[in-house]
């Protein structure tokens, strides 16, 4: 049967229909996004000009900041604009592209966090073989694999939506386009698509989360044999990663491990992995990382000297 698609645009309900709440949310999320842009850009510049990228840890951290910038930019600008707009609409094509972007950058970040955990495992548990194991060829292959994995996952998610007909209604009860809210609007039985979405996203999210938990358990267990100073440095790095993992994976698992069911609170939960975590990553990694802080101080001192 030929696909019929009469919907050319969707309306996003957003967080609230209350004008005062929308104004408050506008200020809050505008500040979040500004901090995200400045913080992640500063980390990338610091690692680049401070030449910290020669270390695999900071090499991956650079791309984590880049992904965070792109990830939040897929939803935040549109969400912020809608908070002060009367018509909160998005074209069908724009909605599909937003869905692709959310899942592409989201899954790529999941894979990258897993790779970063492996890097810390090798550095702490096999320090004598670290340089050999985490050579540049391996690092580049790992990085490419995260992007390829993100593309494959997002293409599967995209295929679940574009093959379905939409003939009305066109109101999405969310602040961005995602698979489950869109499946509810399809003019066809979307049960199979919902199951595939849950299986695909859920497997990736839970699978990587379990790998991360296992990795950090081994790391923390191995620290008992190290010196007090060695434990302090290792814990400083690992705690940063663990905090990011909990904040990012917790809400993601809550949203995507359920069947085709949505709750009114899903929008607030989604804020954590689409906007708050990308904003917190620079703060978490900077505040607990003396190397990055020292590199920032050197760059700032060099800038002051040049200005004089």
Residue with tokens 């690992």: 238
**What local confidence, expressed as pLDDT, does residue 147 receive?**
96
Residue with tokens 């790529």: 108
Question: pLDDT, tens digit, for every residue of 269-296?
Answer: 889 889 988 988 877 877 667 777 777 7
Over residues 2-20, mean pLDDT? 80
Length of the chain: 308
Residue ranges covered by each domain of the chain: 9-307
Residue 228 or 145, more confident? 145
Question: pLDDT, tens digit, for every residue of 78-137?
Answer: 999 999 888 889 999 999 999 999 999 999 999 999 999 899 889 888 888 999 999 999
Report whether pLDDT(259) > 80.
no
Report whether pLDDT(258) > 80.
no
Q: How far apart are the first and last CA of the chain?
A: 72
Report whether pLDDT(163) > 50.
yes
CATH number of 9-307: 1.20.1070.10
**What local confidence, expressed as pLDDT, does residue 80 receive?**
94
| Pairing mode of beta strands 171-172, 9-12 | parallel
Report whether pLDDT(228) > 80.
no
Question: pLDDT, tens digit, for every residue of 50-64?
Answer: 788 888 988 999 999
Distance CA(144)–CA(108), nearest Å, equals 10
pTM of the model: 0.90
Tokens linked to 143: 């990085």
Q: Can you say whether residue 58 is alpha, beta or left, with left for phi > 0 and alpha for psi between -120 and 50 degrees? A: alpha
Question: pLDDT, tens digit, for every residue of 168-210?
Answer: 788 998 899 998 888 888 888 888 888 888 888 888 999 999 9
């Amino acid at each position: 049967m030929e696909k019929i698609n009469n919907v050319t645009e969707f309306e996003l309900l957003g967080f609230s229909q209350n004008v005062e709440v929308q104004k408050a949310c506008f200020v809050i999320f505008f500040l979040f996004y500004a901090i995200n842009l400045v913080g992640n850009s500063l980390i990338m510049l610091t690692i680049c000009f401070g030449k910290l990228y020669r270390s695999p840890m900071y090499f991956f951290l650079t791309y984590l900041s880049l992904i965070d910038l792109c990830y939040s930019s897929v939803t935040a600008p549109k969400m912020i604009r809608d908070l002060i707009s009367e018509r909160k609409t998005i074209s069908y094509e724009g909605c599909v592209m937003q869905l692709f972007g959310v899942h592409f950058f989201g899954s790529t970040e999941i894979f990258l966090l897993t790779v970063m955990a492996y890097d810390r495992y090798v550095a702490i548990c096999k320090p004598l073989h670290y340089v050999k194991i985490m050579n540049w060829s391996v690092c580049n292959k790992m990085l490419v694999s995260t992007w390829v994995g993100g593309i494959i996952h997002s293409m599967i998610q995209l295929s679940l939506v574009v093959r379905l007909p939409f003939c009305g209604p066109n109101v999405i009860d969310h602040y961005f386009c995602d698979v489950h809210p869109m499946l509810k609007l399809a003019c066809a039985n979307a049960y199979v698509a919902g199951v595939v979405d849950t299986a695909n996203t859920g497997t990736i999210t839970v699978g990587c989360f379990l790998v991360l938990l296992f990795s950090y358990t081994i790391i923390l267990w191995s620290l008992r044999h190290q010196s007090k100073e060695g434990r302090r440095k290792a814990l400083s790095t690992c705690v940063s990663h663990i905090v990011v993992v909990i904040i990012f994976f917790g809400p993601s698992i809550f949203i995507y491990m359920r069947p085709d069911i949505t709750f009114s609170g899903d929008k607030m939960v989604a804020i954590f992995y689409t906007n708050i975590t990308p904003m917190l990553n620079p703060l978490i990694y900077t505040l607990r990382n003396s190397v990055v802080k020292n590199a920032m101080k050197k760059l700032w001192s060099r800038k002051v000297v040049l200005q004089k």
